Amino acid sequence: MVGLESFPMQGQTNKTILTPKLQRRLRVAMTDAECKLWQRIRGHQLDACKFRRQHPYYDFILDFACLGRKLVVEVDGGQHAQSPNDAVRDGCLKQGGFRVLRFWNHEVLNNTDEVAEMILRNLMELAAPSPPNPPLEGED
């Protein structure tokens, strides 16, 4: 797996994204599925969490990212089917502490409520504190 140290950065965003204004272009040209999901997750609608769209992270632009809970949501078309690049990307994101959820365009378009519910469940899991350790024998 490629380590994060191999991704040169300027601030948080790599120059390969800054120079051609790729992030802005992707925001303007969102797919129908991305637009539909954005309407469901924007404005703190899910567990009062803020999502960013087309958020830069190293050499990647994330479809949607909740930085507070470290959750990334990707909406993919058929070109992503069994993509080795996606596996590398997901590995880098996981190494950075993110949980990655991937949905197909048709899932978002046809089952928006179920997709939003799955995102909400993950947000709640990421917010839940871990249970305390039970006291050791002899402790009160």
Domain spanning 4-125: which superfamily? VSR Endonuclease (3.40.960.10)
Please tell me the predicted confidence (pLDDT) of residue 18: 56
Please tell me the predicted confidence (pLDDT) of residue 9: 36
85 CB burial (10 A radius; 0-12, 13-18, 19+) = exposed
Of the candidates 121, 118, 120, the residue with the CA atom closest to the CA atom of residue 102: 118
Please tell me the predicted confidence (pLDDT) of residue 114: 97
Please tell me the predicted confidence (pLDDT) of residue 60: 84
Rounded Cα distance between 88 and 65, Å, is: 18
- Residue 118: CB partners within 8 Å, gap ≥ 6? 101
Rounded Cα distance between 22 and 61, Å, is: 9
Please tell me the predicted confidence (pLDDT) of residue 86: 83
Query: Which of the residues in the chain have pLDDT under 50?
Result: 1-2, 4-11, 80
Enter the pTM of the model. 0.74
32 CB burial (10 A radius; 0-12, 13-18, 19+) = exposed
